[in-house]
Structure 1
């Protein structure tokens, strides 16, 4: 692993020193299955015309509205889930934001594409100064151009996988604010150590830029406290490698949603999410990448139900906070199954919500 305080922000393609970069594109460590043209068209047809009714909630997702004053008063090592994979962390008196998406739609077009189920718990304008925005890859449900530009003046640094930083600079972000990394590279800012780690995914924002930028997960360390942010990934042996090198983790923020049997290598089924958490040697699991956008064929509440049942069966400590709800990173707590009332699902016995922390 390489640590650097100031990796070059103006790094140019072809990133020849990256083992992941070959023939003008980035690659996973193993070959992943891709859809044929016919399969891609079939997926698109189903997504547009055969969607089950329950992929979208029947009413408003519960959101705990946040204010700047509440965030300023929150203790260190606090976390607030803002939606999808957007998480705000408070460490050492500073704020850190993952994959900020505040757009109405996860799409290049704001009149077409997956629409938000809920408003963000706090507006971009009211967010406090951000020490660093931590980006996992460039898909529209993780990289929101309008949000990045709105955050430019109040953000000290933007941390990205290789190539994503170049996109930010093209958009007008000051090069001195951009730090971009290959897997196993990282930096230290304000006493917090951050490392870009492997993921198994892909990138692209249009028809001509497939895999032109890298994708990553992130390890975030504040002294002995360790948090893992998965970004997007299929299940692979990289989770064990990360766990062996940096675990155990106090909290894992793990992709749990937008899965489908037709794209098994780039998103995880809930069973794989749980196994990845165990590979990482995680103590508490917080499922993300759900509850905000309709990106697959499963019901909107299915990811919560499946991961809750799996965690209970395997005695894994699980927390599923409402959007905007305060969570202590150092001492997480089981939370209510807030989605059940909206989904009109029967209540489970209360004791199933009290899960045992895995050491």
Structure 2
């Protein structure tokens, strides 16, 4: 199983026979200004047999880019509550998923599991397995109490992709602002990876977006993550397009 980093929270997972992408984006949401990391058309990362989406926020779900790269008929799996939105975006093969649902996509098994959204929208995580290796992608989750259930049902994991930017959001429609992080802090990501039994932590959901006051990334996240993890597991700090083999 190979894991390729895409911008922001996206990854591409490949076996010899099957490839899927999770939360791929190309068209950057205007509300966040300019991306702080390079963005590339999705086709530059290679083909995909299916697209998995954790939730419908525009920094995770980019239907225009999906259609341009893979065609409107590619299977797109996303939370059940987001099916109508996805169908109205021009996608023809939309499959709704709820926690506990498992899908076979070529040689990969994809299970929908728990993820908690920072602003109360529906979100799921995706647990992938090729029969030998196991990977978890948690979207932009915040801290929750489901880590032990995820580990019991789908772990231990060869790699977990977890948000690390501890973002503070001040969206105009969410007033007054809470001042609380809507994604995992680096220290929380390290703790979650430990509970999940991960061999390797792959930081996602960082760098591209830092646009105060609307969206503020936490400070010094890389050094804080290193300190929190210490020598308990590997950390794969990947730039866009970099690939590792699990």
Structure 2 length as normaliser, TM-score? 0.86
Residue 234 of structure 2 is matched in structure 1 by 317
Residue 79 of structure 2 is matched in structure 1 by 161
Residue 216 of structure 1 is matched in structure 2 by 124
The CA distance in 2 between the partners of 1:98 and 1:223, in whole Å, is: 19
Q: 2:5 aligns with which of 75, 81, 92?
A: 81
5+ residue gaps, structure 1, are 1-76, 204-209, 331-359
1:188 paired with 2:104, answer: yes
Q: Secondary structure at the match of 1:130?
A: coil
1:256 CA displacement: 0.7
Which structure has the larger Rg?
1
CA contact (8 A) 2:17 2:106 kept: no
1:307 paired with 2:231, answer: no
The total of aligned residue pairs comes to: 234
1:151 paired with 2:74, answer: no
Give the alignment of 1:101-112 within 5 angstroms: 101-103=25-27, 105-107=28-30, 112=31
Give the alignment of 1:1-359 within 5 angstroms: 77-103=1-27, 105-107=28-30, 112-120=31-39, 122-153=40-71, 156-174=74-92, 177-201=93-117, 211=121, 214-260=122-168, 262-264=179-181, 266-294=182-210, 296-298=215-217, 302-312=220-230, 314-328=231-245, 330=246
Q: Secondary structure at the match of 1:254?
A: strand
1:93 CA displacement: 2.5
1:178 CA displacement: 1.5
1:259 CA displacement: 2.6
The CA distance in 1 between the partners of 2:166 and 2:189, in whole Å, is: 12
CA contact (8 A) 1:240 1:276 kept: no
Task: Write out per-residue CA displacement over residues 147-166 of structure 1, whole angstroms, 9 at most, x where no aligned residue.
Answer: 13323517631111112222
Runs of 4+ in 1 over 6 A off after TM superposition: none
User: 1:139 and 1:290, CA in 2 relative to 1: closer, same or farther beyond 3 A?
Assistant: same
User: 1:171 and 1:154, CA in 2 relative to 1: closer, same or farther beyond 3 A?
Assistant: closer
Q: Secondary structure at the match of 2:216?
A: coil
Structure 1 length as normaliser, TM-score? 0.61
CA contact (8 A) 1:95 1:129 kept: yes
CA contact (8 A) 1:85 1:289 kept: yes
The CA distance in 1 between the partners of 2:94 and 2:84, in whole Å, is: 8
1:201 CA displacement: 0.9
The CA distance in 1 between the partners of 2:18 and 2:80, in whole Å, is: 25
1:327 CA displacement: 1.1
CA contact (8 A) 1:94 1:131 kept: yes
Q: CA RMSD in A?
A: 2.1
